[in-house]
Chain A
Amino acid sequence: MEAPGTTDPKLRLKGVAKAFTAPRTLKRTLAVTGVDLAVEAGEFICIVGPSGCGKSTVMNMIAGLDMPSSGTIEINGVPVAGPGADRGVMFQDYALFPWLTVEENIGFGLRNGTPGNGLSRGEVEARVREHVELVQLAGSETKYPHQLSGGMRQRVALARLLANGPDVLLMDEPLGALDAQTRLILQTELLRIWGETAPQAARKTAVFITHDIEEAVFLADRVVVMSRHPGRVRAVIPVDLARPRDEHIRATPRFGQLSEEIWGLIRAEAYEAIA
Chain B
Amino acid sequence: MSDGLAGALAPRPEPRWATPARGAALPLLLLAAWQAWATTQPDITRAPSPVQVAATFVRLTASGDLPVSLLQSLGRVLGGFAAALVLGIVLGIAMGTSRTVRAAVEPIVESFRPVAPMAVLPIAILWFGTGTPAALSIVGYAAFFPLLLNTVHGVSQVDRTLLQAARTMGVPRLRILRKVVLPASLPSILLGARLALGVAWTAIIAAELAVGAKSGGGGSGGIGAMMFVFYAYSIDLNGIVACMIVIGLVALAIDRLFRGLERRLTPWRH
Q: Which A residues fall within an 8 A CB radius of B?
A: 63-65, 82-85, 87-89, 91, 93, 95, 97-100, 108-109, 112-115, 144-146, 164
Q: Are B164 and A113 in contact (CB under 8 A)?
A: no
Complex interface: stretch among B8-16, B30-38, B85-93, B169-177: B169-177
Contact with A along B142-185 (1 / 0, CB 8 A): 00000000000000000101101111111110010001100110
Main secondary structure of the interface of B (DSSP, over half): helix
Task: Give chain B nearest CB distance to A64 CB in angstroms.
Answer: 8
A99-B268, A144-B268 in contact; A88/B170 too (CB < 8 A)?
no
The residues of A that contact B168 with a CB separation of less than 8 Å are 63-65, 83-85, 87-89
Q: Do A113 and B268 touch (CB < 8 A)?
A: no
Q: Which residues of A contact B267 (CB under 8 A)?
A: 144
Inter-subunit contact A115/B169 (CB<8 Å): yes
Shortest CB–CB separation between residue A66 and chain B, in angstroms? 10
Number of interchain pairs (Cβ within 8 Å): 71
B195 interface hit (Cβ, 8 Å): no
A146 touches B169 (CB 8 A): no
Could you tell me the distance in whole angstroms from the C-beta of A28 to the nearest C-beta in chain B?
A: 22
Annotate B196-217 by CB proximity to A: 1 below 8 A, 0 otherwise. Answer: 0000000000000000000000
Count the B residues whose beta carbon is within 8 Å of the partner chain — how many?
22
- Please give the residue numbers on chain B whose beta carbons come within 8 Å of chain A beta carbons, in ascending order: 159, 161-162, 164-172, 175, 179-180, 183-184, 186, 266-269
Given A63-B164, A97-B162, 14 extra CB contacts under 8 A: A83-B167, A84-B170, A85-B170, A91-B161, A95-B159, A99-B186, A99-B266, A108-B171, A109-B171, A112-B175, A112-B179, A113-B169, A144-B267, A164-B169
Contact, CB under 8 Å: B268 / A114: no
In the complex, what residues of A have CB within 8 A of residue B166's CB?
108, 112-113
- Please, which residue of chain B has its CB at the minimum distance from the CB of A110? B169
Closest A residue to B265 by CB, please name it.
A99
Closest to A112 in B: B171
> In this complex, what residue of A is CB-closest to B171?
A113
- Residues of A near B268 (CB, < 8 A) are 98-100, 144-146
Question: Are the C-beta atoms of B164 and A89 separated by less than 8 Å?
Answer: yes
Listed residue (B159, B161, B180) with the most chain A CB atoms within 10 angstroms of its CB: B161
Please name 14 pairs of A and B residues whose Cβ atoms are closer than 8 Å in the assembled complex, sorted by A.
A63-B164, A82-B167, A83-B168, A84-B168, A84-B170, A85-B168, A99-B268, A100-B268, A108-B166, A109-B170, A112-B166, A114-B169, A114-B170, A144-B267
Q: Which residues of B contact A145 (CB under 8 A)?
A: 268
Other-chain contact of A97, B164, B167, B183 (Cβ < 8 Å)? B183
For A144, the chain B residues whose CB sits under 8 A away are 267-268
Whole-angstrom distance between the alpha carbons of A127 and B140 in the complex? 47
The reply to whether A99 and B169 contact each other, CB–CB distance below 8 Å, is no
A112 to B167 alpha-carbon distance, docked (Å): 10
Q: B170 contacts A97, CB within 8 Å?
A: no
Residue from B159, B169, B171, B269 with most neighbouring chain A CB atoms (10 Å): B169
Contact of B165 with A89 in the complex, beta carbons under 8 Å:
yes
CB distance from A43 to the nearest CB of B (A): 20
Q: Are B170 and A83 in contact (CB under 8 A)?
A: yes
In the complex where A91-B161, A95-B164, A97-B162 touch, is A85 in contact with B186 (Cβ < 8 A)?
Answer: no
A113 touches which one: B159, B170, B184, B266 (CB < 8 A)?
B170
In the bound complex, how far is the Cα of B184 from the Cα of A112, in angstroms? 16
Q: With a CB–CB cut-off of 8 A, which chain A residues contact B266?
A: 99
List chain B residues, Cβ under 8 A from A114.
169-171
B184 touches which of A63, A64, A99 (Cβ 8 Å): A99
Q: Residues of A contacting B169 with CB < 8 Å?
A: 85, 88, 108-109, 112-115, 164
On chain B, the residues within 8 Å of A64 by CB distance are 168
- Max chain A C-beta neighbours (<10 A), residue from B180, B186, B266, B268: B268
Distance A140 CA – B264 CA, assembled complex (angstroms): 21
Q: How far is the CB of A174 from chain B (nearest CB, A)?
A: 13
Measured CA separation A115–B269 after assembly (Å): 29
Q: Which 3 A-B pairs have the closest CB atoms?
A: A114-B170, A109-B169, A85-B170
Task: Specify which chain B residues have a CB less than 8 angstroms from the CB of A146 in the assembled complex.
Answer: 268
